[in-house]
Amino acid sequence: MSPVELKYGEVVFYKGRKVVITSVIDLSRVEVTDTDTGESFEVSVAEIEKLPEQPTKPLHPLDPESPESEYWDVARKRLEIIKPLLTPNRTKREVERRAKEFNLNPATLYR
């Protein structure tokens, strides 16, 4: 097992509890906060363990499991709203009509 990094913000295990290091007291003791309860306490460095590494697969932005996929969904919806207005000769009235149709402010469509 690889060594635990003694740094602020490092998430580790202490006696089966998931904790985050909030302060390095010295080379043998750290202060941690339980991520579930918010309780803070001092522990011996010898008693903490590194979190097991999770296998990760690279995610493509269009992959439905990707955390970015929700942003693509929003972007697609917005594109569908403004698509009819993406012409150089659109009028202010067309923008206002489209905005009203989707309950938006015309300025939002221009942005």
Above 60 in pLDDT, residue 2? no
SS3 of residue 78 by DSSP: helix
pLDDT value of position 43: 93
pLDDT value of position 66: 61
Sign of CA dihedral 87, 92, 93, 97: positive
pLDDT tens digits, one per residue of 51-106: 776 656 555 555 655 656 677 778 888 899 999 999 889 999 999 999 999 999 99
Longest CA span, the chain:
70
Instruction: For the full predicted model, state whether its pTM sits above 0.85.
Output: no
Q: Running DSSP on this structure, what letter comes out for residue 82?
A: H
pLDDT value of position 52: 72
pLDDT value of position 5: 72
C-alpha separations of 78 from 71, 91, 107 in Å: 11, 19, 14
Inter-residue contact 48 to 41 (CB < 8 Å):
no
